[in-house]
Amino acid sequence: MSSTLRNIVVIVTLTLMVVGLAVVLTVGGFGFSLPPHNVRALATIFLNTTLNLDANYRYVSAMSPEAVTAIVWDYRGLDTLFETSVMFIAIVGALAISRGATEKLLKTSPPVLGMSLITKTITRITIVMILAVGASIALHGHLTPGGGFQGGATIAVVPMLLIIIFSIYLFSKMITIYKAVTLRSVGLIGIALSSFIVLIIAALYGGSAYIFQNQPKLHSHYGLPSYAEPILLGGTLLFFNVFETLAVAFGFAALFILFTIPEDAVKSAIMGEE
Amino acid sequence: MISWILVIIGEILIAVGAICDLIAAIGMNRFPNFFVRLHALTVGTIGGAFVPLIGVALLSLGAEFLGVYRFFMAGASIVSAVLLLFLAPVGSHAIARAAHRSKAATVHPKVVDHLEEDRERGVVV
């Protein structure tokens, strides 16, 4: 009897909560009302300056239809560079803590590797799809929602699936930690070069430009092409997205290899000599 | 005419999906052990997600007021449906295999378990 009463109380409470939340959200309580007008004016500024072919806006426009990517890599590119370097330093820290732990210590492999044949077959099909989705998220980052970090994180699912389903013993023969960290460094060097590329071009022509410059600005008329008929290129945004994808995907791959090496194999290497 | 047929078939498939979802939910609550509940779960993923997605594809192909966007909707639904058809059985297969190998799930009202007998005899690893 008491359990029926409890069920009824639970149902009534949940219903009241759902209806109450719906009413409150509809009439705009809890501070969830529409934003005030001055915030919308800021949104208007961003909408006017992200992609504007008008001559008056030519020197303030980022020439990318995707406002988030334009803000992340153009309006506040230096911020994003520091965000990327924070993640790089985290991975360097993880590698430094477990120094000496490499996949070379995996010597004796168990007789049966990975999960069942059904799982392996389907994984072979799906990793191709995941790679395609990740590449499209990254390469269309300046046109549609997405970008380098999102594409790289999507691609990082592939090493995780390969490690879990085909086992670390097979995956570490494909990509070693050293190779993954090297490719990650290539991505970071690419990001650093992309932030200077307009400056380098301007220096070759004897002019001056800003660091992290993408499109021509009022006092420096250099910039990368933003519009090759009929496609939008997005200037440096495309380079940033590609290199960020490389950096994020291989950074995660290195971490996954490092964290899935069995403790028995690397314990003596991590503890070192007394 | 043909669009009406597509819309009606699509709505029937979506209704079938809703019924499958209801059956799966009842089964998840009422079935006695892990493996039978997993069977109810797969009724929910194939019958309750794959079938209505095909229904959505047919429905959006028949909905002419959507203009050219109905082909985008239909394509996205068919791709999601095919992905579900691949991935849902593999997921439940991996869960069931892991549960059976690790003996984490006890099969309580049991008539026969040939796989367990084969494991005990050493035929299957």
Hey, where are the domains in chain B?
2-121
**Residue appearing with tokens 């008491």:** A2
- Report chain B residues whose CB lies below 8 A from the CB of A119: 90, 93-94
Tell if the pTM clears 0.90, that is, is over it.
no
**Residue appearing with tokens 């079935």:** B31
Q: Under an 8 A CB cutoff, do B94 and A119 touch?
A: yes
Q: Under an 8 A CB cutoff, do A116 and B94 touch?
A: yes
Count other C-beta atoms under 10 Å from residue A102's C-beta. 18
Q: What is the pLDDT of residue A1?
A: 62
Instruction: Kindly state the helix (H) or strand (E) to which residue A227 belongs, with its residue range.
Output: strand A227-228
Q: What is the ipTM of this complex?
A: 0.82
Nearest alpha-carbon partner for A212 in A94, A104, A72 = A72
- Report chain B residues whose CB lies below 8 A from the CB of A122: 86-87, 90
Indicate the domain borders of chain A.
73-271
Q: What is the CA radius of gyration of chain B?
A: 19
Say yes or no to pLDDT of B7 above 90: yes
Nearest alpha-carbon partner for B90 in A122, A127, A157 = A122
Instruction: Identify residues of A whose CB sits under 8 angstroms from chain B CBs.
Output: 112, 115-116, 118-119, 122, 125-126, 129
- Report chain A residues whose CB lies below 8 A from the CB of B95: none
- CB–CB of A50/A209 below 8 Å? no
pLDDT tier, B96 (very low <50, low <70, confident <90, very high otherwise): very high
- Report chain A residues whose CB lies below 8 A from the CB of B87: 122, 126
- Cα(B45)–Cα(B88) distance, integer angstroms: 7
Q: Under an 8 A CB cutoff, do B94 and A129 touch?
A: no
Model confidence pLDDT, tens digit, residues A120-175: 999 999 999 999 999 999 999 888 888 889 999 999 999 999 999 998 888 888 88
Model confidence pLDDT, tens digit, residues B48-88: 999 999 999 999 999 888 889 999 999 999 999 999 999 99
Q: What is the pLDDT of residue A191?
A: 92
pLDDT tier, A31 (very low <50, low <70, confident <90, very high otherwise): low
Q: Under an 8 A CB cutoff, do B93 and A119 touch?
A: yes
Shortest CA distance from B79: residue in chain A: A129
- How many angstroms separate the most distant Cα atoms in chain A? 88
Model confidence pLDDT, tens digit, residues A205-254: 888 888 888 888 888 888 888 777 788 888 888 999 999 999 999 999 99
- CB–CB of A232/A61 below 8 Å? no
- Cα(A257)–Cα(A144) distance, integer angstroms: 32
